Structure 1
Amino acid sequence: MAEEKDSEGTEALVAELHKKIKEAFEVFDHESNNTVDVREIGTIIRSLGCCPTEGELHDFIAEEREMLLGCLLPGVEEEEPTGYIRFEKFIPVMTRVLVERRYRPIAEDVLLRAFEVLDPTKRGFLTKDELVKYMTEEGEPFSQEEMEEMLSAAIDPESNTINYRDYITMMVIDEN
């Protein structure tokens, strides 16, 4: 009896995940032919609440090469994958990612500690110039487009600073 209920719950969860994956996939299926450009996979994965880094995304595509890239239409190249991924090949891979809760967002307290390291005098903010320097010169650098997007959401135009506590609260995903 309990196994039956558990099975029904799992089936309902998978059905809900499939619906979400399909909706996200369809946004990028511009030809309405159940395919998307492989370069859109990161955006699709992130739109589903996962937060892989570019390195993790590259590894994901490499790991799933047999499932994903093996089913691409012609045009796959080694360094910069091009081609199209079919929905029926993507859905089992993405379902597994979501069920396994891979690429979860960083916890709020970890983000706060990271910002505090960048703010040793504990002002509670970073200037725009400081933020740009850290995001483009340290670790995995942001692209110009990513930097502009972050700045538009994070910087207070009056003070030209980012109050990182407010920014963290705004960007943290509620997983409940």
Structure 2
Amino acid sequence: MEEEEEIIVPINNDLERRIADAFEVFDHAGNKRIDVREVATIIRGLGCCPTEAEVQEIIVKIEDHQTPGSVHLLQFLPYVSQFITEHKYEPATPEQLLEAFQVLDSEGHGFLTKEHISTLMTQDGEPFTQDELDEMLEIAVDPHTQTIPYEYYINQLMHEPEPEKSIYALADRIEAEKPPPPPPPRRMSEFLKTVEETEA
């Protein structure tokens, strides 16, 4: 079998460096390729929150058709960089989470029962696995009341990352540092019109 020629993947800024570093953790062979099953782990590790369906859509866009089941950094890097710059799959804000919990707490108690949240998380929408549910309940449930006081739980979740630790803040900085685009070229007729107006 012919040895694959190494493809140079240029890294243009700090955002791309952060994405490439996360990718390389899973590039066990050191050939700028990962298994498609690692895509969700890398993207979520960067601080993005796509659903399983959205992860599958991402994989369809970036999977290497020459080597099915793998993703090359050359496809991964620009695609992931683009959707982070566009703020896709951004985590919910504390306000959005609070609003969602308040909708579930229709009687306004300020808490949800362990049973109620377990049913919601495993049966509605995109279900949690038992491991994911156990991990969530370990943090969310008040050991004294065995309920989930959701404002306290949101505060537990929501330690604001330092600006440069947030991948979306980093993307915003990179965008802000880009030079403005050059003005569009003027047509000769526009130029002559300006000259005529100045002379008039």
**TM-score (structure 2 length as normaliser):** 0.67
Structure 1 residue ranges (4+ consecutive) displaced by more than 4 angstroms after TM superposition: none
Q: Distance in 1 between matches of 2:87 and 2:157?
A: 19
Structure 1: 5+ residue stretches without partners? 1-13, 77-82
Corresponding position of 1:52: 50
> What value does the CA root-mean-square deviation take over the aligned residues?
2.1
Q: Distance in 2 between matches of 1:153 and 1:29?
A: 32
Corresponding position of 1:31: 29
Q: Does the aligned pair in 2 maintain the 1:105–1:173 contact within 8 Å?
A: no
Q: Judging changes above 3 Å, is the alpha-carbon distance between structure 1 residues 173 and 39 closer, same or farther for their aligned structure 2 residues? A: farther
Q: Does the aligned pair in 2 maintain the 1:72–1:84 contact within 8 Å?
A: no
Deviation of residue 135 (structure 1)? 0.6
Deviation of residue 38 (structure 1)? 0.5
Q: Distance in 2 between matches of 1:166 and 1:55?
A: 30
Q: 2:124 aligns with which of 109, 132, 138?
A: 138
Q: Distance in 1 between matches of 2:25 and 2:144?
A: 36
Deviation of residue 71 (structure 1)? 4.3
Corresponding position of 2:74: 88
Q: Does the aligned pair in 1 maintain the 2:64–2:71 contact within 8 Å?
A: no
Aligned-pair identity in percent equals 42
Q: Distance in 2 between matches of 1:29 and 1:102?
A: 25
Q: Which SS does the other structure have where 1:85 is aligned?
A: strand
**TM-score (structure 1 length as normaliser):** 0.75
Q: Which SS does the other structure have where 1:31 is aligned?
A: coil
Q: 1:159 aligns with which of 125, 131, 145?
A: 145
Q: Distance in 2 between matches of 1:149 and 1:29?
A: 28
Structure 2: 5+ residue stretches without partners? 1-11, 161-165, 170-200
Residue 123 (str. 1) matches residue 109 (str. 2)? yes
Q: State the number of aligned residues.
A: 151
